[in-house]
Structure 1
């Protein structure tokens, strides 16, 4: 019985999704150049980035886990009707316990980020605030809701870059990629229960294609042998486009759900593509290692 309830608490945090959030941090690390210094021997100050990487990875675990747990807290009444199998409506987790856990995780995430530097701490505060704002209010807004969720991922990528704070201003525009991508996923996901959201699916498809083009453009602009990113982007396209096209054709809730699940997990591939562009293919592969972990967890725990 204890194992069942422990699994229910884990389910509140969406473990497979947390792995994708860790990939945000690692991609930001790669963009800043810290990943290359950490992984390449004899680069001088590489060892100084070990603990910042650990702290920022812990920070995103707390922020993301707490954020999605609060999602179930605020949705408890609706889930009792539409998704009674979830931990709170099923009675496996008390709503007060879920709220306490979510608050603790976000607080721990913020404290972990402040161990790196003050900018990381303030970014974590912003991400935590945006996550709770989305759960309590943003998700009900047709336009701001998807943007709100996208901003959480933008902040997460910038949190990884903040290991070298002065680079945040240099690379802030990269945050527009997860902003657009996650906004599209959030918009598409609104058809998971009832389906028939053709306009959202078409818009999401357009955004996906734009992001694929941007990833290729960034790779070739960076000059790090842009061709090496093609396998990463190819895998990314293979993961997200076929499920979405099938969902668009049939507009069935279960197909939309599968499309959303594939897109969420493919955040790992998107981040690996960015990392490969800025720090080389081998850094991208280090992030891509997270993909099978996320896929495995997705078979055990629900993604949406």
Structure 2
């Protein structure tokens, strides 16, 4: 396979977005309290570090496979609206992309299974939800954003599943990525044609709810609020200015920039959650994924 053809298949996986999925896992480990043992080499740190690797690999497979399948199912539509994409441009074949997507999803589930059976079950659920969104959910006005949000919820819970017993306590945290990603999905529907002001205002409201929910965690978890505040300030700086510009103009390009900023900001959402549970130092560890994602976003499309 030529370098240009390999690059085309890599484009299908949205590498910058994949890094945001890794942040879900890392935040989940912070919720589970695993990072404390990993960075101090405490009891069981070797196993936790290995599981961190398996779950990170798992989410890479799940996310990359899921978004690549999206292009497979959208090939005909992209031929009209986005002919420059890998499949309609002929740089990647539809059959080849489908096989790659399927294999990546299998890798994701198998990698999660190396941690425990509950992790494998969650990974399988995320894979099914991703394909359901690609084929059906994205065409649904209300269920579509929820479908996509559930993929992210499952991804955060996949990180928490490193200690399965904690899932029964912390599963409601899945609402945070669900609402945030549902907002992104809702906003993104104006990326081609624009003129979706109601959806933009809805997304703005949902972003505010997410910030409020994360800000409430330190109150319930006895973490100093100041450790979370800088992360929430950075999140607000990343998502609100481009969204407000999009609301004012209804320009598809500005809507696209707003979506791109929000997708990358998923790392900041996860860093905020990590800081709320494990302190600012762990939040910084998760935030270190941000420059990697931003660098990849300059080389690969995010949406």
Q: TM-score, normalised by structure 1?
A: 0.98
Which residue in 1 is equivalent to 2:4? 4
Tell me by how many angstroms 1:227 deviates.
1.1
Cα distance in 1 between the residues matched to 2:164 and 2:214 = 24
Q: CA RMSD in A?
A: 0.8
Which residue in 1 is equivalent to 2:28? 28
Deviations 1:160-188 (A, max 9, x none): 00000010110000000000000000000
Deviations 1:245-278 (A, max 9, x none): 1000101000000000000000000000000111
Which residue in 2 is equivalent to 1:108? 107
Tell me by how many angstroms 1:206 deviates.
0.5
* Superposition map of 1:122-137 within 5 A: 122-137=121-136
Tell me by how many angstroms 1:88 deviates.
0.1
Which residue in 1 is equivalent to 2:183? 184
Tell me by how many angstroms 1:31 deviates.
0.3
Cα distance in 2 between the residues matched to 1:275 and 1:36 = 11
Structure 1 SS opposite 2:298: helix
* Superposition map of 1:94-105 within 5 A: 94-105=93-104
Which residue in 1 is equivalent to 2:255? 256
Cα distance in 1 between the residues matched to 2:43 and 2:54 = 21
The answer as to 2:206 corresponding to 1:207 is: yes
Cα distance in 2 between the residues matched to 1:37 and 1:29 = 10
Aligned residue pair count:
303
The answer as to 2:109 corresponding to 1:84 is: no
Cα distance in 1 between the residues matched to 2:218 and 2:89 = 47
Structure 1 SS opposite 2:141: coil
Deviations 1:80-126 (A, max 9, x none): 00000000000000000000000000001000000100000000000
Tell me by how many angstroms 1:219 deviates.
2.2
Question: Do the aligned residues in 2 keep the contact of 1:29 with 1:161 (CA within 8 Å)?
Answer: yes
Q: TM-score, normalised by structure 2?
A: 0.99
Cα distance in 2 between the residues matched to 1:70 and 1:89 = 14
Ranges in structure 2 where 5+ consecutive residues have no aligned partner? none
